[in-house]
A and B are shown apart, each in its own frame.
Chain A
């Protein structure tokens, strides 16, 4: 996380990453690939905000699709914790989105909106 701050930081499971039809190269997204979304923790999410992110998207496979048993469950817990801490910091819990997708499906996950002024 040493590069210039970009408005959206994405933590994505490699298996679910194929579903992210997003302008990664456009400069709005900073992408961190994870082997499984269960690797994400609240510390990583908070560090992203500390480093200047406006929004964080955590992207993983849905429960039946996870190749690592309980990745989505762990991610739900950690994203929930990060949301609660961000709420107490006064930054708002809606700055973190968790998208659990069917990795073999065809709908693209929603990207969080970035404020215009950025």
Chain B
């Protein structure tokens, strides 16, 4: 099979727009999309297969949106990382490798998951429904990131409440697995395929016609990567914002007095082109004024998520840049449609923003820096505006009481 790299690198005109908009290139880590393409032409792939900068790319696709030749650097990244992995080279795993272990363990068909303990009787689901809600990794994220104050299982419950509100009783899969997004982008194609085959066979058994996602990464993987590896899905895939917008939940929407700014997650925006449905839903909330950051839609900032690898100062600086832009709008809510943006931005807030440029300028001027707006998942905000939001933390705290110790990023 011819590498995408080989077919695309030669059409690079060397204009450098990609590197100009790359959030990682400006962090000084030594990664540059233009250099990667030019090196590929001049020296072949070997030059960077052992270069750790290969794993610094966030696949945020900002470069692709400005490229006049239409080169997909993120697509090239997928295949280069697979080649690097064959040589035993991979990115540095954050959180002690815990999340990668979870993904690979889920790829084992014999693992008998118990992943729906967070459901309660107020949530209406139906095993006969032809609409499946694909929950994603929230049951694992909830205990891992509890110390950040994020509540991914509340988001999952709120998603079901919103679907119920829209007249849909979704079916849930007790044996759903990780979608494989993170393994694929780390070059573990075999692990990705195992997870994908499992999910596809379970979903096809249900006879589902529509699968709804609250996680943009899962949606991207189903919509773009599964068909590339396994052919046509046989069912429609939608982000919950698309379904709610389509089904007119907006017409009898709720109210919430707030100034909100919407952050476009990379996978939902640049990867899938879904910019308007979340904004339509937000605009339909009475009392909510929707603001925009300097960089939004196609040029939105990235939360720095990189499949739980290569976390560090560079990632923190771009998270802080995003938070600063959001704070500068005067919004009191920063709304995202991605659970990983939620986690990463809350992590940046928890790590403290005292050393960011606006904070330093404010401190020199003797004033307080603008506080970052409260980070809220779109699903949670919609449920809150309708007065149906999750109050309890059922399942979020199931198991042990933990004390001390953050999420243990290393």
Contacts and interface: CB of A to CB of B under 8 A. Distances in A.
16 contacts: A43-B95, A44-B96, A47-B101, A73-B403, A77-B405, A81-B143, A84-B143, A84-B400, A85-B102, A85-B140, A85-B143, A87-B114, A87-B399, A88-B140, A89-B105, A89-B111
A31 B400 CA distance: 25
A87 to B, nearest CB: 6
B29 interface: no
Given A43-B101, A47-B101, A50-B104, A93 B111 contact: no
Given A77-B404, A90-B113, A46 B143 contact: no
Interface in B317-354: none
A89 B403 contact: no
A102 B140 CA distance: 34
B408 A78 contact: yes
Contacts of A76: 402-404
Contacts of A5: none
Nearest to B405: A77
B140 A78 contact: no
Interface of B: 93, 95-98, 101-102, 104-106, 111-115, 117, 139-140, 143-144, 398-405, 408
Interface string A35-78: 00000011110110110000000000000000000100110111
B97 A77 contact: no
Given A47-B101, A90-B112, A91-B111, A42 B402 contact: no
A112 interface: no
Contacts of A70: 404
A88 B139 contact: yes
A77 B98 CA distance: 14
B97 A80 contact: no
Nearest to B94: A43
Nearest to A72: B404
A20 B97 CA distance: 28
Given A42-B408, A84-B400, 10 more contacts: A44-B96, A50-B101, A73-B405, A76-B402, A76-B404, A78-B405, A80-B401, A81-B143, A83-B399, A84-B399
B98 A88 contact: no
Contact of A41 (B113, B139, B399, B408): B408
Contacts, number: 85
Nearest to B406: A77
Contacts of B98: 41-43, 46, 85
A93 B399 contact: yes
Contacts of B101: 43, 46-47, 49-50
A80 B102 contact: no
Contacts of A49: 101, 105
A83 to B, nearest CB: 6
A90 B102 CA distance: 12
Contacts of A83: 399-400
B97 A81 contact: no
Contacts of B102: 46, 85, 89
A87 B101 CA distance: 15
A91 B140 CA distance: 14
Contacts of A77: 402-405
B310 to A, nearest CB: 16
A46 B113 contact: no
Contacts of B139: 88
A44 B400 CA distance: 18
Contacts of A42: 96, 98, 144, 408
Contacts of B399: 80, 83-84, 87, 93
Q: Which one of A78, A88, A89 has the highest number of Cβ atoms from chain B below 10 Å of its Cβ?
A: A88
A81 B401 CA distance: 9
Q: Which 8 A-B pairs have the closest CB atoms?
A: A43-B96, A80-B400, A43-B98, A84-B399, A90-B112, A46-B101, A77-B405, A41-B96
B207 to A, nearest CB: 25
Contacts of A80: 399-402
B35 to A, nearest CB: 33
Q: Which one of B98, B106, B111 has the highest number of Cβ atoms from chain A below 10 Å of its Cβ?
A: B98
B106 A74 contact: no
Q: Which one of A42, A47, A77, A83 has the highest number of Cβ atoms from chain B below 10 Å of its Cβ?
A: A42
Contacts of B401: 80
B177 to A, nearest CB: 11
Contact of B400 (A46, A74, A81): A81
Contacts of A84: 143, 398-400
Contacts of B115: 88, 90
Nearest to A47: B101
